[in-house]
């Protein structure tokens, strides 16, 4: 589904990604861990097409398409979803209106008729239940005045609405209390099928108690320095990254 080869990317001339290789197959859950500043969020941004970053080398194939040649919105419509670490506010634009446009844009791309208002409202009601999002929030402006927890729930709600093939969740667990973490993580698991894949970027093992990864990668200084199964996350939790980093220096 996703095949990243030797990906290099810079921001303001500074190289952040220095040769990433990553293979994600349908039905898989990958976790990307690593110390601060290792390039995790950059990887997510670059895959989504954020124009702040410049890809200097490498290739990315997504569902048989050359991902890097596509615009941000084309990637999204094709089924790539980014759960933002810091969701932005859009004053005056209701969540409902925002999602209606997004959902219909995707339907248009697939050659489907736009949803009627009634169909859309029903869909919104069903999907907001996945993350126990207060339905009242959909009448409020996008992320405006949302608490940290609500913002993260709202990201997963949007994921539920758009049913992506590949979801990249950038530190969806940061700033969540135990209950919110459980709700958000359970929501992600509910949305998981054999056809789609999830890449979870996180600092903490606790998220992976709910979203059990098939593969765990450690990103350090713009490279994946180690890959293992879910036990790797537990080991990292206990021992930190030093043993890997030292390893890497040798």
What residues make contact with another protein under the rule CB under 8 A?
Answer: 48-52, 71-73, 76-77, 81-82, 84, 87-88, 90-93, 97-99, 101-102, 105-106, 109, 141-142, 158, 162
Q: Helix (H, G, I), strand (E, B), or coil: what is residue 201? A: strand
Q: Tokens representing 76? A: 């999204």
Q: Which is nearer to another protein, 42 or 205 (CB)?
A: 42
Residue 179 Cα to chain centre, angstroms: 20
Tokens coding 8: 């290099």
Query: By the 8 A CB rule, do 28 and 215 touch?
Result: yes
Q: Smallest distance from the beta carbon of 234 to another protein, in angstroms?
A: 32
Shortest reach from residue 153's CB to another protein, in Å: 16
**Residue 70 three-state SS:** coil
CB of 90 to another protein, least distance (A): 6
Smallest gap from Cβ 114 to another protein, in A, equals: 13
CA distance 90 to 68: 27
C-beta of residue 224 within 8 angstroms of C-beta of residue 217:
yes
Residues pairing with 223 in the sheet: 220
Q: How far is the CB of 230 from another protein (least distance, A)?
A: 28
Strand partners, 60: 4
Nearer to another protein, 200 or 244 (CB): 200
State in angstroms the smallest separation of the CB of 248 from another protein: 32
* Strand, coil or helix: 130: helix
Choose between 68 and 93: whose C-beta lies nearer to another protein.
Answer: 93
- Cβ proximity to another protein: between 88 and 178 the closer is 88
Nearer residue to another protein within complex by CB, 85 or 205:
85
Residue with tokens 């990553």: 22
Report the C-alpha gap between 163 and 166 in whole angstroms: 9
């Amino acid at each position: 589904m996703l095949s990243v080869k030797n990906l290099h990317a810079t921001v303001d001339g500074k190289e952040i990604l220095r040769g990433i290789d990553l293979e994600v197959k349908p039905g898989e859950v990958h976790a990307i861990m690593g110390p601060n500043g290792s390039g995790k969020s950059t990887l997510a941004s670059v895959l989504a097409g954020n124009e702040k970053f410049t890809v200097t080398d490498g290739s990315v194939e997504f569902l048989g398409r050359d991902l890097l040649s596509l615009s941000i919105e084309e990637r999204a419509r094709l089924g790539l979803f980014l759960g933002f670490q810091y969701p932005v506010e859009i004053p005056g634009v209701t969540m409902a209106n925002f999602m209606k446009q997004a959902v219909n844009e995707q339907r248009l791309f697939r050659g489907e008729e736009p949803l009627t208002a009634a169909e859309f409202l029903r869909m919104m009601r069903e999907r907001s239940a996945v993350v126990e999002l207060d339905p009242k929030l959909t009448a409020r402006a996008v992320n405006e005045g949302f608490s940290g927890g609500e913002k993260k729930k709202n990201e997963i709600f949007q994921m539920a609405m758009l049913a992506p093939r590949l979801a990249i969740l950038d530190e969806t667990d940061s700033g969540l209390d135990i209950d919110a973490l459980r709700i958000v993580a359970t929501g992600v698991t509910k949305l998981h099928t054999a056809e789609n894949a999830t890449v979870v970027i996180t600092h903490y093992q606790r998220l992976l108690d709910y979203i059990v990864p098939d593969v765990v990668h450690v990103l350090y200084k713009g490279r994946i320095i180690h890959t293992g199964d879910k036990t790797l996350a537990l080991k990292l939790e206990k021992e930190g990254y030093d043993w890997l980093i030292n390893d890497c220096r040798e």
